[in-house]
Amino acid sequence: MSVRNTGIVCVLILSFGSPVLAVDEEAAEELLKVSKCLKCHSVDKKKSGPTYQEVAAKYKGKPEAEAKLTKHVTEPSKVKVDGKETDHGAAKTRDPAKVKNLIEWILSR
């Protein structure tokens, strides 16, 4: 095999070698419901918390997005709502795969 052909084969392997995993929409939406996130957030309608579209836009292209959102949804914290500090709950799971799926779902809005 020539060097040129080897390069083409490498590009093909890198392009198709690892499957792209899709977000499990149903699982993410179920976790949002169980965790009561939809009380304050929605995909596109303003509630007391930002919409998931606003969150996705805020973090678009930022390398720290996944880490920051993971911390935000897994660790209870305080947030400002209408100028008042209030408790922000955490996702009702400790499964890292479920949390990752949820974060990817939020960022894909």
**CATH for the stretch 22-107:** 1.10.760.10
Beta-ladder partners of 78: 87
Please state whether the predicted TM-score (pTM) of the whole model is above 0.75. yes
Least-confidence region, from 8-17, 20-29, 80-89: 8-17
Residue 88, annotated as binding a ligand: no
> Per-residue pLDDT for 6 more than 60?
no
The CA–CA distances, whole Å, from 59 to 26, 62, 64, 107, 108 equal 23, 5, 8, 7, 10
* pLDDT at residue number 14: 47
* pLDDT at residue number 106: 98
> Per-residue pLDDT for 33 more than 90?
yes
Residue 72, annotated as binding a ligand: no
> Per-residue pLDDT for 12 more than 70?
no
